[in-house]
Amino acid sequence: MPPAKKIPCPACGTPALFSPENRWRPFCSERCKTIDLGDWASERYRVATGEEVKDAPEGEGQSEDPGAKHR
């Protein structure tokens, strides 16, 4: 089996082993993995959709009662 490749940790840049032996791969540690998860949870990262999403003007397209149309 070829030696495991080392890649830079996406969070801190430290070389991290990219193999099953590294339980946090591609991160170097549980700390870096948790920081990255927190960034996704706080919406610092977003997946591009290819469409420009514009915020609706305040009150437009929104109902105070989300089930109002289905009664």
CB 16 within 8 A of CB 26: yes
Domains and CATH numbers, the chain: 1-49 (3.30.50.10)
pLDDT tens profile 29-61: 999 999 999 999 999 988 888 877 666 566 555
Given this model, what pLDDT does residue 70 score? 47
In angstroms, the CA 30 to CA 61 distance is: 42
Q: Which pLDDT value is given to residue 47?
A: 86
Alpha helices in 1-71 (DSSP H): 30-41
Q: Over pLDDT 90: what percentage of the chain?
A: 55
